[in-house]
């Protein structure tokens, strides 16, 4: 069975038209749509698309100057590798936003702005196949680009992208959404419109992302004024660690060889190779400099209107 | 402790208004709303009297008034009268007292549908130990790192009261499979699955697989005793034996149907693993070494599958990291995250002075294969 | 040689008049001044002071219903055990404040308010023997109490406690301090006075502690207006961990015995005691609920005036 | 890298105005001051051109203008002219550009005296690895937990470039002792002690003790070679040999005096330990197992002494915890702390988007004795 290219389902083997994530090194992944005749250039040289077609997902492939892995696209990998047109929301925040929106298959979600479509993809994948994402941006190049991506990624049927300033004109749909997400400079202007777009009969959830506390303060007031309840603001600070092989020295060893990490094996006086004290794996904070703030997430509930 | 009770208590926390609060909830509120916001750090040091002792009006009397249909406003007036401390409070503190009591005794209750998010929060606050200290924000991260969505096949081994399994099922939306590896003959201790009241479509994706079968590498028949082990109560004393016999035939039929359903789901689950169709492996471990699960499942994962391992014990994840790094795994990363709630009030904005911080670590990676 | 009771120096053995910290259990420590004839009552029953005198510091003593340890007072132990008259500053913040004030022996430091004297003790011990702490509070009972404590703790010569509202009347000393610390509800009112109290010839440091961001915002503006430079706001969030013995199960063990932590030793089928899988020590976050915010620390430098 | 240079660079960071900045400092500033404050997270992704390429005015030309006494304002005007990107910027961005350049090229430099706090910050930013990732806030905590003040006797084993030793010395204020356990014949690699330029009184409390002596349990004589090992340069080629001989006698006298001073300090340090007069033990470990130090020093600590152990490796502290828990130690606690800088600007208040977070853990406890 051959399926249309889609982030949602795929064959065991890669077909022409599939979007693949080429894993080059840790931190360097390149998304590309596989097309005969094309060649991908990266750190490890050139890789002809012909060689990708028919291979298994996850397989190692030789390029001209090294090897790479061809990975299945996922929401997280897309976020890590997508072409950035704006600052984007990273996986930790995307994950949290999906949860705060109570997003699941069938949910109807409004989002503004579209930006580079990092969160848009996460939402679209989550609400598939019977839900819908309405994403809004003031910049037409962004909505056009994300629609193109959605088409390549098999997400067209669950998405609509609209050029629209939600702060002045509101959302594309009214009285129907289950959740609204805002990442706009003046969320307080969009909040009354967010209330309107949520389903009156079912109620719904609102999540607003803002880097600055002053934005949060005004957003909270606007949410309360628009009738939202259970208003809460949270902040996520992820910390990344790496595993290193650690050598624990005794004072005697330190006196003898200093703090240089000794080789795993060394020669003794007779010239024989002997094992040194084994290394212990341990986690340390790395990289030394890390993101310590992206934004505050303010979330709230709009209660259903009982008739 | 029943899940209903948990959900109920949860509502009290999230609800801006409620009537059903236990009295001790008031005392807690007073700590966190103290005029000096730093008080909450070491409440024991302040030796505040519990509200009960300072309030002459009995809880029973309040409930009686409510039964009689006396309005919330009147109840509050009575409470103010009965409060030993009210007169000694400042005007500001008095107004806060009235406001709080008005909220508490007004006549509305907010009923929220159970959601994974609320369930996660409720269990985390009530029984973090049995949940392996899995916080709602970390659960969200696990789902996203594992790429769970409609149609995916996900293998789950968890010691988190069914929370991870339940969250995966919701995200599958009736298509794909959630292989739930469990001990004993029947999946036990998964209240988070049951309390979501999933419809048939969503429930159909739950594929419980016995550890025994996974260890044996094949599906095993049930043992010879008629009833599946652990499922029914072992209530066989003489007085009830007679009744039991009467119901035996009906039960036989039901039990047989249930068993067949279980066996069919298990068969599908094992098949999904054996045919290398599992796209994700999630391990939420409390006491079991993740490597013990990896040894059985990792070799059979589909290439490009995501592996996500959660544990409150970082050293378990360090070992798992070493294990995975020696196999074909890319994008290996160990993360931890702080989740802090902000108090946003005019002129009093700051992170909460104290909150539950227990949590764990998340290790994730992607399985690859050679040329 | 017999010395006067003092936090700064003491004999090897405990004398009458010494302040001792009675360590009862983790988290329960009781400070008391040793005086013949008195008896300390606590969880483990009664302990007559007679028994304390002449003992070594750090020694275990039997009370009527258990035993306790008699510890030497230190700034940290005093903070953990002092009689609280107000909310206090804990060790993590005290340590940071001393560092931000560049406090050392010889420093002249102004503080407001005195509160329960937690930070006051930390400062007094650090600036001894030739520096000085001027501590200010609007509540006379607090300054009286702290002066009494300073006397018992051998810190009288390096401290002065003044009843004074620094927000309206400024500090006890002008043009002489090396550092000023503020923990007042409206720091912006005290900041111009803080600038006056600092030495013009040497310049100095200012540290302000505020729980709320709005206070920080106004304080930062006031600091800039008063001529302070290098203004920075930081926040410390300590996390406490405990070490537990962890049992790593295999799936087989889990299948057999469930998630209950097995006993360290169990009997095999022949009834012999056998060692179970050894436990591994591991650190977990504990207690589950912890302080996540005390206050923001805003610090700044006043440059010397060159003549 | 010289300490002076570090201190200088530090000034640039703390200084609101400066002239001596390297050009790359500008580019960094542009990342963190980008109009979208989230940009800083992944600057590489934005592929901003370095400032140099967009600026036609050469760095040399700028420095030349300054030599000629051209005012900062004029320099900025020239920079605006030379900027390729200036015209493409928004008005807001243009005004920011001018403001930044004005600050950078104005004619004041802020010179700060070295303090332990600034030194800690400078080394942490420049060489966190060699400092065992010890952050200034954690150094402050260590000093407070160890109860360092005038008159105390403190034993220090550290792998933090002398930072802990230097900080202890400052707090002793010339009375008490700071026993510094070091490898080799002479305390090496302690730039943080030297760069504080302590007076004689403060310097008198530094009591370096050789690991060898601690291991031997007694003071050892220096080895037979005339010069202490490692101290003087081994510059003995022929051309300088003659001069060397001439200076030999003077050097002999000096070296002998220095060696005698070292031996006397070491004797005092060892005596202080042997007579159980050490009130605190601080271990700041990078590669050495703290237990190796505890085994030698803990038994000889004065009862009621504080033990504080810092390490970037939590598992080392877990082992040390187990070791101490089996001995007579109370109040054992393992802590970690986050230190975050806030950006406080009108309508733009938030924690810094990125900062150095590497750090370690602190284990502390108090030694007690039986009846």
The angle subtended at Cα D214 by Cα D209 and Cα D215, nearest 5°, is 145
Average pLDDT for chain D: 78
Percent of chain C whose pLDDT exceeds 90: 85
Provide the token pair at B73: 């406003």
Task: Report the C-alpha gap between C145 and C124 in whole angstroms.
Answer: 15
Tell whether B220 lies on the interface with C, counting CB pairs under 8 A: no
Instruction: Give CA–CA dist B300/C231, Å, rounded.
Output: 57
Q: How far apart are CA A261 and CA A278, in angstroms?
A: 12
User: Is residue B322 over pLDDT 90?
Assistant: yes
Q: Which of C182-191, D30-39, D93-102 has the lowest mean pLDDT?
A: D30-39
Cα separations in angstroms, A294 against A99, B109, B342, C186, D229: 17, 36, 15, 30, 53
Interface subset of C 118-147, CB within 8 angstroms of D: 122, 125-126, 128-130
**Between vectors from CA D96 to CA D92 and to CA D100, what angle results, nearest 5°?**
175
**Alpha-carbon gap, residue D126 to D134, rounded angstroms:** 12
User: CA angle at residue D362 from B129 to A286, to 5 degrees?
Assistant: 80
**Which is nearest to C98 in space by CA: C106, C109, C86?**
C109
Range from B6-15, B79-88, C160-169 that averages highest in pLDDT = C160-169
CB A67 within 8 A of CB A44: yes
The tokens 């060394």 sit on which residue? A266
**Chain B residues touching residue C280 (CB < 8 angstroms):** 315
The DSSP code for B231 is T
Instruction: Tell me if D352 and A293 make a contact (CB, 8 A cut-off).
Output: yes
Confidence class of residue B371 from pLDDT cuts 50, 70 and 90? confident
Regarding beta strands D153-158 and D280-284, do their DSSP bridges make them parallel or antiparallel, or are they unpaired? parallel
Q: What pLDDT does residue B104 have? A: 62
Both structure tokens of D176 = 């008490």
Is the pLDDT higher at C119 or at C262? Answer: C119
Please give the domain boundaries of chain D with CATH numbers for all domains.
Answer: 17-105 (no CATH), 116-227+235-367 (3.40.50.150)
> For the residues B313-338, what does the mean pLDDT come to?
95
**Residue C109 predicted with pLDDT over 80:** yes
Query: What are the φ/ψ torsions at residue B62 (nearest 5 degrees)?
Result: -65, -45
For residue D200, the tally of other CB atoms under 10 A from its CB is 7
B124 vs A95, B127, B285, B351, C296, CA distance in Å? 18, 6, 15, 20, 29
Residue B81 pLDDT grade (very low, low, confident, very high; cuts 50, 70, 90)? low
Q: Examine the pLDDT at D46 and tell me if it is beyond 70.
A: no
Å between D255 CA and nearest CA of chain C? 32
Taking only residues 282 to 341 of chain D, the set having a beta carbon closer than 8 angstroms to any beta carbon of chain C reads 302-306, 314, 317-319, 321-322, 325, 330-331, 333-341
Beta strand extents in chain B (DSSP E only): 153-158, 177-182, 206-210, 280-284, 306-311, 329-343, 350-351, 354-356, 361-367
| Per-residue model confidence as pLDDT tens digits over D251-296 | 788 889 999 999 999 999 999 999 999 999 999 999 999 999 999 9
Shortest Cα distance, chain A CAs vs residue D211, angstroms = 7
Interchain pair C213, B338: CB under 8 A: no
B255-267 mean pLDDT: 94
Judge: A220–B369 Cβ closer than 8 Å, yes or no.
no
CB B200 within 8 A of CB B226: no
State the smallest CA–CA distance between residue D68 and chain B in angstroms. Answer: 51
For chain A, strand residue ranges (E) read 19-25, 28-33, 39-42, 45-48, 60-63, 66-71, 108-112, 132-137, 159-163, 179-182, 204-210, 229-246, 265-267, 273-275, 280-285, 289-291, 296-302
* pLDDT digit string, tens, across residues D49-60: 333 444 555 666
pLDDT (tens, 9 = 90+) of chain A, 307 residues, equals 446 788 998 788 999 999 999 999 988 999 999 999 999 999 999 999 999 999 999 999 999 999 999 999 999 999 999 999 999 999 999 999 999 999 999 999 999 999 999 999 999 999 999 999 999 999 999 999 999 999 999 999 999 999 999 999 999 999 999 999 999 999 999 999 999 999 999 999 999 999 999 999 999 999 999 999 999 999 999 999 999 988 889 999 999 988 876 565 566 667 676 666 678 899 999 999 999 999 999 999 999 987 6
pLDDT averaged over every residue in chain B: 78
Nearest to D287 among A90, A249, A284 (CB): A249
For residue B107, is pLDDT > 90?
Answer: no
Half-sphere CA count of D280, side-chain side, radius 13 A: 29
3-state secondary structure of D338: strand
Interface ipTM: 0.87
Cβ contact, residue pair A286, D358, below 8 Å = yes
What are D114-127's pLDDT values in tens digits? Answer: 899 999 999 999 98
* Location of structure tokens 């009285």: A175
Instruction: Name chain B contacts of A283, Cβ cutoff 8 Å.
Output: 314, 317-318, 334
Q: How far apart, in whole angstroms, are the C-alpha atoms of residue B266 and residue B256?
A: 15
| Model pLDDT for residues B18-54, shown as the tens digit of each residue | 223 332 332 232 333 333 332 222 222 223 333 344 4
Least confident among B202-206, D75-79, D361-365: D75-79
Sign of CA dihedral B350, B353, B355, B357: positive
What percent of chain B shows pLDDT beyond 90? 58
Of residues C269 and B311, more confidently modeled:
B311
Residue B28's pLDDT is 31
B326 CB burial (10 A radius; 0-12, 13-18, 19+): exposed
Sign of the torsion angle spanned by Cα atoms B219, B224, B226, B228: negative
Q: What is the pLDDT of residue A274?
A: 62
Higher pLDDT, D100 or A195: A195
Report pLDDT for D58. Answer: 60
Among B97-101, B127-131, C183-187, the range scoring the smallest mean pLDDT is B97-101
Q: Is residue B130 pLDDT above 60, yes or no?
A: yes
pLDDT, tens digit (0-9, with 9 covering 90-100), for D216-251? 999 999 875 544 444 444 444 555 555 656 566 777
pLDDT for res D51: 39
The pLDDT value recorded for residue A9 is 83
Could you tell me which of B184, B232, B172 has the C-alpha nearest to residue B208?
Answer: B184
Q: Which residues of B touch A230 (CB under 8 A)?
A: 14-16
* Per-window interface: C 201-260 vs D, CB < 8 A: 213, 216-217, 220, 229-230, 232-243
Q: What is the pLDDT of residue B290?
A: 98
Whether C13 shows a pLDDT value over 60: the answer reads yes
Q: Does residue C120 have a known ligand-binding role?
A: no
Q: Which chain A residues contact residue B341 at CB under 8 A?
A: 232-234
DSSP-derived letter for residue C269 is T
Identify whether the C-beta of residue B112 lies closer than 8 Å to the C-beta of residue A204: no
pLDDT higher at A261 or C279: C279
Chains that touch C (3 or more CB pairs under 8 A): B, D
Binding residue per annotation — C221? Answer: no
Q: What percent of chain B is modeled with pLDDT above 70?
A: 63
Confidence of residue C62 (pLDDT cuts 50, 70, 90): very high
Mutate to test the interface with D, among A86, A245, A292, A295 (most CBs of D within 10 A): A292
Domains defined for chain C, CATH in brackets: 19-73 (3.10.330.20), 78-237+292-302 (3.40.50.150), 241-285 (no CATH)
Could you tell me which residues of A are annotated as the binding site? 116-119, 137, 183
């Amino acid at each position: 069975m051959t399926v249309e290219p889609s982030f949602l389902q795929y064959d065991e083997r890669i077909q022409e038209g599939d979007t693949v994530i080429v894993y080059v090194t840790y931190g360097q992944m390149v998304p590309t749509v596989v097309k005969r005749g094309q060649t991908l250039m990266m750190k490890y040289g050139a890789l002809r698309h012909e060689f990708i077609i028919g291979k298994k997902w996850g397989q190692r492939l030789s390029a001209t100057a090294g090897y790479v892995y061809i990975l299945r696209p996922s929401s997280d990998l897309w976020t890590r590798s997508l072409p950035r047109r704006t600052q984007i929301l990273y996986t930790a925040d995307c994950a949290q936003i999906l949860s705060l929106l109570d997003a699941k298959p069938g949910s109807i979600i409004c989002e503004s702005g579209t930006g580079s479509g990092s969160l848009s993809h996460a939402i679209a994948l989550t609400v598939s196949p019977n839900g819908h994402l309405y994403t809004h941006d003031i910049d037409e190049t962004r909505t056009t680009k994300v629609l193109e991506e959605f088409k390549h990624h098999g997400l067209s049927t669950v998405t609509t992208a609209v050029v629209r300033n939600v702060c002045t004109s509101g959302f594309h749909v009214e009285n129907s959404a289950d959740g609204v997400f805002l990442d706009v400079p003046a969320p307080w202007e969009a909040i009354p419109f967010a209330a309107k777009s949520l389903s009156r009969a079912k109620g719904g959830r609102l999540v607003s992302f803002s880097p600055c506390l002053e934005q949060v303060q005004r957003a909270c007031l606007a949410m309360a004024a628009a009738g939202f309840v259970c208003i809460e603001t949270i902040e996520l600070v992820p910390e990344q660690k790496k595993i290193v092989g650690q050598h624990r020295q005794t004072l005697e060893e330190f006196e003898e060889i200093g703090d240089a990490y000794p080789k795993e094996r060394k020669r003794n006086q007779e010239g024989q190779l002997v094992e040194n004290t084994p290394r212990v794996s341990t986690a340390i904070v790395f990289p030394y400099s890390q993101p310590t703030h992206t934004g505050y997430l303010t979330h709230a509930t709009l209660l259903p209107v009982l008739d | 402790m029943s899940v209903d009770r948990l959900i109920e208590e949860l509502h009290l926390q999230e609800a801006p208004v409620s009537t059903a609060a236990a009295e001790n909830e008031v005392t807690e509120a007073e700590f966190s709303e103290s005029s000096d916001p730093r008080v909450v750090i070491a409440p024991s040091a302040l030796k505040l009297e519990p509200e009960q002792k300072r309030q002459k009006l009995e809880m029973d009397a309040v409930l009686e008034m409510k039964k009689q249909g006396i309005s919330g406003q009147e109840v509050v007036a009575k409470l103010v009268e009965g409060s030993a401390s009210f007169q000694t409070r400042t005007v500001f503190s008095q107004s806060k007292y009235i406001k709080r009591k008005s909220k508490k005794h007004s006549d509305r209750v907010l009923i929220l549908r159970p959601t994974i998010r609320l369930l996660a929060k409720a269990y985390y606050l009530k029984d973090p130990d049995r949940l392996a200290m899995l916080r709602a924000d970390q659960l969200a991260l696990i789902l996203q790192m594992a790429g769970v969505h409609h149609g995916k096949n996900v293998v789950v081994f968890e010691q988190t009261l069914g929370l991870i399994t339940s969250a995966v099922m919701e995200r599958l939306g009736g298509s794909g499979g959630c292989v739930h590896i469990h001990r004993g003959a029947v999946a036990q201790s998964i209240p988070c699955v049951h309390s979501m009241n999933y419809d048939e479509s969503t429930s159909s994706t739950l594929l419980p697989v016995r550890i025994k079968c996974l260890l044996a590498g094949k599906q095993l028949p049930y043992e010879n005793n008629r009833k599946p082990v652990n499922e029914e109560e072992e209530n066989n004393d003489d007085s009830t034996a007679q009744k039991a016999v009467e119901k035996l035939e009906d039960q036989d039929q039901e039990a047989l149907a249930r068993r067949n359903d279980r066996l069919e789901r298990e068969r599908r689950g094992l098949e999904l693993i054996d045919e290398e169709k599992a796209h994700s492996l999630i391990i939420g471990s409390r006491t079991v070494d993740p490597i013990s699960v990896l040894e059985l499942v990792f070799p059979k994962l589909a290439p490009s599958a995501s592996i996500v391992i959660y544990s409150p014990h970082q050293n378990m994840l360090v070992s798992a990291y070493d294990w995975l790094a020696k196999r074909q795994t890319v994008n290996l990363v160990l993360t931890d995250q702080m989740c802090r709630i902000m108090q946003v009030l005019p002129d009093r904005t700051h992170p909460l002075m104290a909150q539950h911080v227990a949590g764990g670590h998340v290790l994730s990676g992607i399985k690859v294969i050679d040329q």
